[in-house]
Structure 1
Amino acid sequence: MATSLTARTLFISDLHLGTRDCQAALLSRLLRRVRPERLYLVGDVIDLIAMHRRASLPAEQQRLVGRLLRLAKGGCEIIYIPGNHDAALRQLCGIRMHRVRIERRAIHETADGRRLLVSHGDEFDTHVRLAPWLMALGDGMHQFVLSLNRWCNKARSLLGLPYWSLAAAVKGRIGAAQRYVEQFEQAAIHQAAREGLDGYVGGHIHKAGFRAQDGVLYCNDGDWVEHCTALIERPDGSLALIDWEGQVIEAEPSMPRACPEGALAGA
């Protein structure tokens, strides 16, 4: 029997419910093992853009929604921060229903006292603001790669092999995608620094990871169509990326501590 994973906070994003690419079964598996006190849904939870074209919520995705509602009923506080694919829900920001509230962004304080800006991240996407046609072209290519990802994992399932992200492997070899990720991370770090915060947590780019720069920690929780990862805060405030099995795949990097004024005087 799988052991439960202690979590003070869980951050998940980019579920894209309503699409064929949503890995609802894998996320449900994780939520059976993790019982967070607080859950952040960091955008693109429901893909309203896709559902406008073809409204569909398969049984596995319906069960996932039910599991999330049971978490709230059981005492877990849920903060829903809409993204660009569920942007229509931003009109509801400020509303609280039982233990679920909808916010445009949030400031999360960890158990060890750090203050982190939490947002979906599309506000940092210069392609959305400056070149919509380029984003549309990229989205078309992304959907094609995701379709290959579905067929690849159907074959792996028949062979008894675990989930593996072909889409993530392809994007990891494209230089332009890597440069975009770096620019996105830089923009998020700068925003957190401007607000005097210790770090940033977001999603949007479907690329989980950490980055530490100038005393600011960048965290991306990944997604549930390609990487199937989440960001967890442990009871002591430390952060880590976990997969659908609850296994730690990356711990937050150690942050250099500022040298106290005058500490070198007697060196």
Structure 2
Amino acid sequence: MSSEPTQRHFRAIFLSDIHLGTRGCQADMLLDFLKYHDAETIYLVGDIVDGWRLRRMWYWPQAHNDVVQKLMRKGRKGARIVYTPGNHDEFLRDFLGTHFGGIEVVEEIIHETADGRRYLVIHGDRFDVVVRHARWLAFLGDWAYVTALNLNTGLNILRRRLGLTYWSLSAWAKLKVKNAVNFIGKFEETLAGEAERQGVDGVICGHIHHAADHTEFGTHYINTGDWVESCTAVAEHHDGTFEIIRWADRAERVRVLETGEPRRAQAAA
């Protein structure tokens, strides 16, 4: 690997579901990502801070503070920072339309790409039936999810000792459970439909911790993934094409740091 890794600069970077304030947050991985990636605009697409967990038990290590400081420092250096809250940081919806520390807080926003296409940027929890109509079930699901993440932690400590790469048990299980797969598909279809209803070319969202980039439902659907399991981000290149960056993939990190050129994801539709 070269002694001076390449820093990559994008027109926009989209991050969601970081869940600062939880033990599952991959803060060190995110700090590493932010070190080598910059953008004119950074969208924080909800669930950046996990208010649900912090209300139950305070957990805020230095690495989580470092993430906040790193993002604010990028803002001071000229990046536009836009925050669209989700269900875990819904307390910020009391401050829609305001700025704090150079960060704009909005419910949703339209992002225009370099080639003139328009994308709805929104967390997506408003279109989750469980979150909207059965909050007790959402809280129960959150507890089960955290339990699975705790199992992830122990499993990956063992994998590191064996010289193996990071692997998410909870993400694997989620994609193997039929109901979860059906939920993901329905969520994607609903968000694509909302983009069509608003007359835009696509949607960029988070919420379900499942990175994606496709046009299966007739509208360009992009999901940023998360920084708990998959450690993914979405970036817009200066030509308007999009890329999913998978920072938990060691081979991907090495390729980016050595050459500045990752695997290209699907080009924008």
User: What is the TM-score with the length of structure 1 in the denominator?
Assistant: 0.90
Instruction: Give secondary structure in 2 for the equivalent of 1:16.
Output: coil
Q: How does 1:78-89 map to 2 (within 5 A)?
A: 78-89=81-92
Query: How far does the alpha carbon of each residue in 1:68-93 deviate from its partner, in whole angstroms, 9 at most, with x for none?
Result: 11111111110011110010111111
Asked whether the equivalents of residues 211 and 253 of structure 1 are also in contact (C-alpha less than 8 Å), the reply is no
Task: Tell me if the contact between 1:189 and 1:213 (Cα under 8 Å) persists in the aligned partners.
Answer: no
Alpha-carbon separation, structure 2, partners of 1:55 and 1:134: 22
How far apart, CA to CA, are the structure 2 residues paired with 1:241 and 1:80?
A: 19
The equivalent residue for 1:212 is 215
Contact 1:157–1:163 at 8 Å: present in 2 too? yes
Larger radius of gyration: 1
2:146 counterpart letter in structure 1: Q
Return the alpha-carbon distance in structure 1 between the equivalents of residues 77 and 64 of structure 2. Answer: 20
Residue 56 of structure 1 deviates from its aligned partner by 1.8
Contact 1:240 1:248 in 2 (8 A): no
Aligned to 1:9: 12
Of the three residues 18, 23, 38, the one matched with 1:20 is 23
Task: Decide which structure has greater helix share.
Answer: 2
The one-character-per-residue Cα deviations of 1:13-66 (angstroms, maximum 9, x if unpaired) are: 001000000000001111111111110000000101111111121111111111
Cα gap change, 1:249 to 1:155, in 2 (>3 Å): farther
CA distance in 2, matches of 1:22, 1:249: 25
CA–CA separation in structure 1 for the residues paired with 2:233 and 2:243: 8
User: How far did residue 254 of structure 1 move?
Assistant: 6.0
Deviates more, 1:176-185 or 1:240-249: 240-249
- Choose 193-202 or 88-97, whichever is displaced more: 88-97
Is 2:169 the partner of 1:155? no
Q: Distance in 2 between matches of 1:160 and 1:67?
A: 30
More deviation, 162-171/73-82: 162-171
Alignment of 1:122 with 2:136, yes or no, is no
Task: Note if contact 1:230-1:242 (Cα within 8 Å) is conserved in structure 2.
Answer: yes
| Residues 80-132 of structure 1: CA deviation (Å, up to 9, x unaligned) | 11110010111111112463211111100010111000011001101223333
Cα RMSD, aligned residues only: 1.7
Q: Name the counterpart of 1:145.
A: 148
Indicate conservation of the 8 Å contact 2:244/2:265, yes or no.
yes
Count residues in correspondence: 255
Residue of structure 2 in register with 1:251 after alignment:
265
* Percent of aligned pairs sharing the same letter: 42
In the alignment, structure 1 residue 108 sits paired with structure 2 residue 111: yes
Q: Contact 1:223/1:229 (CA < 8 Å) preserved in 2?
A: yes
Look up the SS of the partner of 2:5 in the other structure.
coil
Structure 1 portions without partners, runs of 5+? 256-267
Of residues 198-207 and 93-102 in structure 1, the stretch that sits farther from structure 2 once superposed is 93-102
Deviation of 1:157 (Å):
2.6
Matched, 1:53 2:56: yes
Q: Equivalent residue for 1:170?
A: 173
Answer whether contact 2:18 2:25 (CA < 8 A) is retained.
yes
Extract unaligned runs of 5+ from structure 2.
Answer: 248-252
2-side partners of 1:165 and 1:152: how far apart? 9
